[in-house]
Amino acid sequence: MDNFKVDLYIRVSTERQANEGDSLDEQENELRKFCDYRGYKIHQVYIERGKSGGNTNRPEYQRLVKDIQAKKVNAVVVKKLDRLSRSLLDFESLMKTMQEKEIEFISLKESFDTTTAMGKAMLRVALVFAQLEREQTSERLVDVMEYRASQGMYNGGHRPFGYTNVDKQITPHKREKEIVVLMFDKYIETKSTIQTARFLNDTGYRDRDNKLFDNRKIHRIIQNSVYTGKVIWNGKLHDGLHQPIISEAKFNQVQKIIEESNYKVRPNQVQGLLKKLLFCGSCGSYMTPSHSLNRMKNKFYYYRCRSTCNPEKGQHNCTIKNAPFALVDNRVKEILLELSQETQFKLLENRILKHNQSVEREEQSMQKEKLLLENELESVREKKDKYLDSLISSQFLSKERERINQKIGELELEEKQIKARIYKLEFNICEVLDTVIDVSLLKKRLISFKTNHESYTFDHLQEYLVSMVEKIIYHKDRLLIYFKLLPWELEFELNKD
């Protein structure tokens, strides 16, 4: 075993532990004796002073991980598992990396030794419990959310238009509330989401993002029970703690009008491939499948801008009005085939890689800021612990004790403030990472279309487009396509020639 190289990892969480009990020297001596007995060659000894095992933000631990990733050693040796990590889930993650790199793990106290069959079996048992812990955590979270909803508490997520967040609960937003009330009243009067949207837009009202209202957005709002003071969770309605904006009588009146309205698809209704995906580039309304008869009494199919459907005199200024089925549908299919070609996709891939690199740089910068805050937090906690220890172990006059308690209070406040900054930073990091584009998934989907599109039925083709595309904006000379996996739109000429 002369060529069997190992890293030793030693940790204590406080200075007192460093000098008493399970000290650094005591741990190192035991590990060195074990290595001498086994004939292992020690590559590095990583000593972590005054660091908690509750997370992985430890400098020596990170150096150890780099050794593992670089396959510089054959095994990692610790005295006890909790020296390496107090989190079973962090331990599981590290074990996965070590298994991928074919690096063994040895813990003297727990008899984890993956160089032996029994040690490997023990490790598998530990990882089973890690999986159990993760599943139970998920179940507990679901139970908590279910309980919160049953008590009428808001569970977060997208804030409904008309409300604002206060102390993790929703309360009516003064300006938005007025718009919601007006929206319900106008719909009862007109029995039309299109006319309601037109009235709001013409009157100067806008949504939260200062955008025009459209009939789909209004349809979603007037069907949402949250405005009657209800909380919706898992398809169930609960009486909420938040203030209602609309009375149940008015809400039920609106639902009855919707039910009686002709929203269902008629048997002879034209089914366009880009239905609910195509929008007018002139006025922003969505374009609906339609048809008419030409002079030869043959049907001519086209997408019609909804702003021209049953227009009120002088109420629309759309310059596009309609677009031929064949022209737009065929061009969209051509574009998908073009993007699946290696030369065309390479251009898109380069742009995606630059975007992901920018996201990675931003995330790394935020991680550095987070590490500095965590070090600052650890320093504050150590100071607070020293003051607490002094109160227990020393005799002070009442004024001295008062000053020490005051100092502890200041440190506790500082600790809370740093924690809040860390939580906010963690949230921002998650948001940034959500913008990473999965280039392999996009390529896989485009190649799938290229391979299978000729065998697709109309329904399959439409399902594929809905899964890939957020919306398509039609102009007389070009198309703007917003793909769900991309944060920017792609522009294509309508007539390829």
According to DSSP, the residues that pair with 233 across neighbouring strands are 236
Mention every residue, 6+ apart, whose C-beta is less than 8 A from residue 276. 286, 466
DSSP character for 57? -
- 486/28 Cα distance (integer angstroms): 52
Contact (CB, 8 A) for 472 and 305? no
- 92/111 Cα distance (integer angstroms): 17
Residue by residue, DSSP assigns 181-205 as HHHHHHHHHH--HHHHHHHHHHHT-
Q: Within 10 Å of residue 128's Cβ, how many Cβ atoms?
A: 11
Residue by residue, DSSP assigns 244-300 as PSS-HHHHHHHHHHHHHS--SPPTT----TTTTTEEETTT--BEEEEEEE-TTS-EE
Residue the block writes with tokens 């949207």: 197
Q: Nearest Cα to 240, choosing from 139, 172, 141?
A: 172
CA 235, 236, 241, 245 dihedral sign is positive
Please report how many Cα atoms fall inside a 13 Å half-sphere around the Cα of residue 371, on the Cβ side.
11
- Let me know if 448 is a catalytic residue: no
Q: Which of 13, 87, 93, 390 is catalytic?
A: 13
Contact (CB, 8 A) for 353 and 439? yes
Residue 267 region by backbone torsions, left for phi larger than 0, else alpha for psi between -120 and 50, else beta: alpha
Q: Nearest Cα to 271, choosing from 322, 331, 334, 325?
A: 325
- 95/103 Cα distance (integer angstroms): 9
Strands 112-113 and 469-474: unpaired
Mention every residue, 6+ apart, whose C-beta is less than 8 A from residue 471. 277, 278, 279, 482
- 128/446 Cα distance (integer angstroms): 38
Which residues belong to the active site? 13
